[in-house]
Chains A and B, each alone.
Chain A
Amino acid sequence: MIIATFIAKNALRNKRRAALTILSVAVSCALLVTLLTLQREMTIPPESEAASLRVIARNKVSLAQPLPAKQLAVIDKIPGIVAVSPFSFFGGNFREETVTSFAQFAVDPARFQNIIVEGKIAEGSYDNFIKDRNSCLVGADTLKRYGLKVGDQMRFTGTFYPANLDLRIAAVYQGTVDDRNVFFHHKLLDELLGDPGTVGTWYLRVESADVANDVIARVNKAFENTSAEVRAETERAFQMSFMSMLGNVKVLIGSISTVVVFTLVLVTVSTMSMAIRERFRELAILKALGFRRRELFSFILAESFGLAALGAFVGIGGAWAFWTFLDLQTLTRGFLVYFEVTPRIMATGATVAALLGLFSAIAPSIAVARMSVVKGLKTLD
């Protein structure tokens, strides 16, 4: 027999309790990992290299206020900008849906292709999109979700604008951080709305990340003291401003996570204390046989740590597998596209479990260290 065998046999002597302890740690770890992932997804929008070069300029008063289309000529002349396109949110419902989870944007196709440069599009198909004013460019995720193909029609009922869209799928893109959106001709939107001469926002790509701040300052300055002042910001900052509308999600999820961890600590400490209290007499025997306090502490710590580690392995591994292989987009009707359980989050879960193993061993170890052999031997089985 080796010490490890002795520890393992002790840990698993009450199989039902060991299984329930492992399960409670596993479920709590899975919940913790899920909450941390949710927090990350809701507070940190996905990043891409191309996104860091993109800037969105909106009306300074409100995102809902349009901008004059004539601003394009001014923006075109601002140094540091590679491409600029109108970018107007349509907000329609697809088919008979009451809530459609993917967005539709009106853009200038010829200019727009120089903005979403990371998008992979079948060769030649983008030209078809440019040529046909009633066509659209669709994200691969949406195409897959609705079982659509190039050439199919997509009908949208306007909720934001008093107009409906009937678009033919001309091209498909993928490889961006969000492959769900539909892009169509701004000219079509203008026509449907009676050519109001406005756009929702401007979508820009700058030369390099180094000049992004300068370009933002120039754009803002260019329309200072006009009837439509703009507020330009990076795509990431723009996304973050949306996230802030969700309220202090970080604090909420953080609070729930703390409660989960606290409950987990209580459950495990209680289980370990119970397991050790039942074995007080045996531990007194071990002391009589010559085992010292530090050796008994090692046994208790190893047992507690082992149960926590097993629970963490099952819980974190299970959560990773579940969220990795689940079709989350379908399940959440497109609310969540990505739900990546990152190595950092898994490491956080594992650290919590390790600390839990250590913490739950402390109280029983102190009790055993204080216990005299004589009193321990008098303990009833």
Chain B
Amino acid sequence: MTVPNIVTIRDLTKTYQQGEINVTALNNISLDIEAGEYLTLMGPSGSGKSTLLHIIAGVDRPTSGECRVQGIDVTRLNESDLADWRNQNVGFVFQSFNLIPVLTAFENVELPLLLTRLSRKQRREQVNTALELVGLLDRRHHLPKQLSGGQEQRVAIARAIVTDPALIVADEPTGNLDSASTQEALGILQSLTRTAGKTVIMVTHDPKAAAFGSRSIHLEKGELVNE
């Protein structure tokens, strides 16, 4: 059975100006990612892996080329449509968790749902389900400062999955975690691909973290070096 591609990238190039120097972050990249894959992007600093992740997630734009996610060329969407698209289709997990400090774990997870038409009751049910999935339902009324780093990252994962997106992007999600918390977070991401059919794209420097993925690709100087 052929698994459809969730991401199709063709001839993607990203250049930007750094002072007087023209830097090529991505150079003519073409890549297909199948639905349900757990893809890890590896490479040294400045290789363009985060830039590629940002373009796939619709928070950055390429200089040229095409990036289709679920059949939609996200490079052609305007700001407003792109924001809607991100809300419905992409879940973000960041290295430094990026929870809103004045909101409880429950409220942080609920944030993306405020943009939907769900009722308060429906939102509560979805948030509880997401928090239960990451094992933090009992900590839902805690503020981020009352949680450990690993718990904060699990709340961030719950926030990423609460809208039930097809794609989850993670930018070095274990960079600030100890080894136990790293195992927990990576285990959750892995189970999302295996049990819920989500596609996870993760940037990492850590080969141990990359081992959790179903496929790993390497970038150097903005180019794919092997797959």
A binding-site residues for B, Cβ under 8 Å: 1-3, 5-6, 9-10, 13, 281-282, 285-293, 295, 372-374, 377, 381
Asked if B37 is at the interface of the complex by the 8 Å CB criterion, the answer is: no
Q: Are B83 and A290 in contact (CB under 8 A)?
A: yes
Chain B residues in 8 Å Cβ range of A290: 83-84, 86-88, 112, 115
User: Is B102 within 8 A of A9, CB to CB?
Assistant: yes
What are 15 pairs between A and B in contact, CB < 8 Å? A1-B107, A13-B102, A282-B100, A285-B100, A286-B111, A287-B83, A288-B86, A289-B86, A289-B111, A289-B112, A290-B83, A290-B88, A290-B115, A373-B54, A377-B98
| A9 surroundings in chain B (CB, below 8 A) | 102-103
Contact status B83-A372, CB under 8 Å: no
Contacting residues, chain A, for B84 (C-beta < 8 A):
290, 292
A3 and B114 form a contact (CB under 8 A): yes
A374 touches B92 (CB 8 A): no
Q: Are B98 and A281 in contact (CB under 8 A)?
A: yes
User: Is the pair B114, A292 in contact by a Cβ cutoff of 8 Å?
Assistant: no
Point out the residues of chain A lying under 8 angstroms from B152, CB to CB.
none
Q: Are B80 and A285 in contact (CB under 8 A)?
A: no
Among B84, B86, B106, the most chain A Cβ lie within 10 Å of the Cβ of B86
Given A282-B98, A292-B80, A372-B60, residue A6 in contact with residue B115 (CB < 8 A): no
Q: Is the CB of B102 within 8 A of A289?
A: no
Question: Taking the nearest CB of chain B, how far is it from the CB of A283, in angstroms?
Answer: 10
Provide the residues of chain B in CB contact with A292, threshold 8 Å: 79-80, 83-84
Query: 9 other contacts beyond A285-B94, A288-B57, A290-B86, with CB at 8 A cut-off?
Result: A1-B103, A1-B114, A9-B103, A282-B98, A285-B98, A288-B59, A289-B86, A293-B79, A373-B54
How many Å lie between the Cα of A288 and that of B163 in the bound state?
Answer: 13
B110 contacts A by Cβ under 8 Å = yes
Bound form: Cα–Cα A381–B101 in Å: 11
Q: Please provide the chain B residues from 74 to 114 with a CB less than 8 Å away from any CB of chain A in the complex.
A: 79-80, 83-84, 86-88, 92, 94, 96, 98, 100-103, 106-107, 110-112, 114
CB-nearest residue of chain B to A295? B115
A289 near B87 (CB under 8 angstroms)? Answer: yes
**Complex formed: what's the CA distance from A196 to B76 in Å?**
99
Nearest-CB distance from B126 to chain A (Å)?
13
Chain B residues with Cβ under 8 A from A1's Cβ?
103, 106-107, 110, 114
Look across to chain A and name the residue whose beta carbon is closest to the beta carbon of B91.
A289
- The docked-state distance in angstroms from the alpha carbon of A374 to that of B100 is 17
Min CB distance B54 to A, Å, is 5
CA distance A124 to B208 in the complex (A): 107
For window 31-84 of B, CB contacts with A under 8 Å fall at 54, 57, 59-60, 79-80, 83-84
B114 and A6 within 8 A (CB): yes
- Across-interface contacts of B94 in A (CB, < 8 A): 285, 377
Q: Which of B109-166 contact A (CB under 8 A)?
A: 110-112, 114-115, 120, 159
Instruction: Look across to chain A and name the residue whose beta carbon is closest to the beta carbon of B99.
Output: A285
A10 CA to B100 CA in the complex, in Å? 9
Residue of B nearest to A3 (CB): B114
Q: Which residue of B lies closest to A9 (CB)?
A: B102
Q: A residues within 8 A CB of B98? A: 281-282, 285, 377
Residues on A with C-beta less than 8 A from B102 are 9-10, 13
Q: Is the CB of A291 within 8 A of B83?
A: yes
A290 vs B89: C-alpha distance when bound (angstroms): 10
User: Considering the chains assembled together, what is the distance between the CA atoms of A10 and B96 in angstroms?
Assistant: 20
A31 and B188 CA atoms in complex are apart in Å by 59
- State in angstroms the CA–CA spacing of A335 and B119 once bound together: 62
- A6, B100: Cα distance in complex, Å: 10
Contact of A373 among B60, B107, B111 (CB under 8 A): B60
| Contact residues in A for B120 (Cβ distance below 8 Å) | 2
In the complex, A59→B106 CA distance in Å? 83
A3, A13, A290, A293 interface centre (most CB from chain B within 10 Å): A290
Does B92 lie within 8 Å of A289, measured CB to CB?
Answer: yes
Which 3 A-B residue pairings sit nearest by Cβ, starting from the closest? A290-B87, A373-B59, A9-B102
Chain B residues positioned under 8 Å from A10 (CB to CB): 102
CA distance A190 to B175 in the complex (A): 101
Q: Given A282-B100, A374-B54, A291–B60 Cβ distance below 8 Å?
A: no
CA distance A281 to B103 in the complex (A): 15
Cβ distance B58 to chain A, nearest Cβ, rounded Å: 9
Interface centre among A5, A6, A13 (most CB of B within 10 A): A6
Residues on A with C-beta less than 8 A from B115 are 289-291, 295
Chain B residue nearest to A5 (CB atoms) is B107
Q: Which residues of A contact B110 (CB under 8 A)?
A: 1
Q: How far apart sit A1 and B80, CA to CA, in the bound complex (Å)?
A: 24
CB-CB under 8 A from A288, the residues of chain B are 57, 59, 86, 92
Q: How far is the CB of B224 from chain A (nearest CB, A)?
A: 21
- Cα distance, A287 to B58, chains bound together (Å): 11
Residues of B within 8 A of A377 (CB): 94, 98
B59 touches A374 (CB 8 A): yes
Which A residues touch B101, using CB under 8 A?
13
Q: B103 to A6, Cβ gap below 8 A?
A: yes
Chain A positions within 8 Å of B88 at CB level: 290
